[in-house]
Amino acid sequence: MLRENPDGVDVRIFGTNVNRDAPALSACDVGEVEPRHVGDDEYAAFALDFARRHRIDVLIPPRRLVALAGLHDAFAQAGTRLMCSPAAAVDLLTSKSRTYEAAQEAGVPVPPWRLVSDATGFLDAVAELSAGGERVCIKPAGEFSAFGFRILDDSPLHVRDLLAPAAPLASVPAVADALRRAADEGEPIPEFMVMPYLEGPEVSVDCLSAPGGKLLSAVARSKQGRYRLLLDEPGLTAIAERLVSHFRLAYLSNVQLRHRDGEPVLLEANPRASAGIFQTAFTGVNLPWAAVRLLVRGDAGLLAAPRLGGRVAVVETVAEVDGTFAFDRDDRSAAAQDTGHVLADLDRARGAREAALHPHRTDLLLGEATATAG
């Protein structure tokens, strides 16, 4: 969608991944391996160094937003525009529980949930939320994508279950035992959310908004087997608009909804583009390019009303790749040779970000935060 932009701009795409064999890198003009299992400071230093070395004009981070949010000035000094929502919003939305609390304040319906971190709290939450007969599920409360999601099911296994596709199931006793064992062995236990399992298709709303949270365009879509429905349901996009405005999200974001008792409720909100945003191309609106234009020029261009109500099929394609990158350098010493001045540039930007996130702290003055290499 970036290469096929309506302005006819010749776009060169640079990409990184922790896996050098990631198929997405084969679609990039230039690909590079990024560091795995590093702290926010080291990742930010890598990203800034990458932007400098390749003279990146626009950086669109699909992950590690916490490490980069609030560093717009540092990237601007390198000649790079960073596409990212405010650091406060990114920080809040990495916690599903805090997201639900804030959404309730904005008048957005959310399902009931309980935070748990031990076996006793987990069992109490399950008993409370399943008392009305609803199935319940558990998932990490932090930013783990779909990893860790389990539907809680104590029913006996049948032969038909063995013949069906595997489902993410776990029994209540097994989860409680895992929490007890982790506590006994001193293993760190993150917070988990216990909530009703919301049946039915998930609705994903891809959003384009101006800095400050004004929604410019939105496309809601849902799954129906191998098909994707482009929904013409203003009520769904209205919920997304309320959230985008409340969190002051900028450029590309995504709101996920499911239905409970026939009414849409928030599943999660992400301050980044969704992996399926390419499906919105069939509505006649190029959301990724509009976001780039908005960042670079200050306006999103002419945005026609999306063509909604249609259905598109998801198919698999096979493409031959040569297995090499246009730019493939795994030499960390060369890539990090400028780490000193990169971290120095990050100091002042990180101080501003921390001051915005923690206004009550008096020790976080502009330029006084200390950056480390992780």
Question: What radius of gyration, in Å, describes the C-alpha atoms of the chain?
Answer: 22
Q: Which of 130-144, 229-243, 294-308 has the lowest mean pLDDT?
A: 130-144
- Work out the pLDDT band at 233, boundaries 50, 70, 90: very high
Instruction: Note whether 72 and 82 are within 8 A (CB).
Output: yes
Largest pairwise CA distance in the chain: 64
330 pLDDT higher than 80:
no
Cα angle: 236, vertex 238, 242; to 5 degrees: 125
Residue 119 banded pLDDT, cuts 50, 70, 90? very high
β-pairing, 263-270 vs 251-260, is antiparallel
CA 236 to chain centre: 19
What is the 8-class DSSP label of residue 281? G
Q: What's the confidence (pLDDT) of residue 333?
A: 39
Predicted local distance difference test score (pLDDT) of residue 364? 34
Contact 1, 288 (CB under 8 A): yes
What pLDDT does 143 receive?
66
Question: pLDDT at position 350, please?
Answer: 58
Least confident among 8-17, 81-90, 101-110, 143-152: 143-152
Q: Would you place residue 123 in the very low, low, confident or very high pLDDT band (cuts 50, 70, 90)?
A: very high
* pLDDT at position 348 over 60: no
Residue 337 confidence class, pLDDT cut points 50, 70, 90: very low
67, with CB counted inside 10 A (0-12, 13-18, 19+), is buried
Q: Determine the Cα–Cα distance for residues 263 and 284; give it in Å rounded to an integer.
A: 29
pLDDT above 70 (res 196): yes
**Digit-coded pLDDT (tens) for 257-295:** 999 999 999 999 999 999 999 999 999 999 999 999 999
pLDDT beyond 50 at 339: no
CB 287 within 8 A of CB 217: yes
Kindly indicate the confidence band of residue 336, based on its pLDDT and cuts at 50, 70 and 90. Answer: very low
Contact 196, 121 (CB under 8 A): no
Q: Is the pLDDT of residue 326 over 70?
A: no
- In this prediction, residue 315 has a pLDDT band, given cuts at 50, 70 and 90, of confident
Rounded to two decimals, what is the model's pTM? 0.84
List of long-range contacts for 296-303, beta carbons under 8 Å, 24+ apart:
296/57, 296/58, 296/81, 300/208, 300/210, 300/216, 300/217, 301/6, 301/7, 303/208, 303/216, 303/217
Please state the rounded mean pLDDT for residues 129-148: 87
**What is the pLDDT, as a whole number, of residue 320?**
76
What pLDDT, on a 0 to 100 scale, did the predictor assign at position 121?
A: 97
Q: Could you tell me if residue 324 is left (phi over 0), alpha (psi between -120 and 50 degrees) or otherwise beta?
A: beta
Average pLDDT of the chain to the nearest whole number: 87
Asked if residue 73 has pLDDT above 50, the reply is yes
Whether the pLDDT of residue 353 is over 80: the answer is no
Q: Which residues contact 86 (CB under 8 A, 6 or more apart)?
A: 69, 70, 248, 250, 356
pLDDT the model gives residue 89 = 96
Bridge partners, residue 223, by sequence? 228
Q: Residue 318: what pLDDT?
A: 80
Where does residue 311 rank: exposed (0-12), middle (13-18), buried (19+ CB within 10 A)? exposed
Give 222's contacts (C-beta < 8 A, 6+ positions apart).
Answer: 201, 202, 203, 204, 228, 229, 231
Residues 337-341 have a mean pLDDT of: 48
pLDDT at 361: 40
Q: What pLDDT, on a 0 to 100 scale, did the predictor assign at position 366?
A: 31
| Confidence (pLDDT) at 342 | 52
Q: Which has the closest alpha carbon to 116: 169, 155, 167, 172?
A: 172
Between 349 and 121, residue with greater pLDDT: 121
**How confident is the model at residue 360, as a pLDDT?**
46
For residue 363, pLDDT beyond 50? no
Q: Specify the pLDDT at position 374.
A: 30
Closest CA to 67 of 358, 268, 346, 365: 346
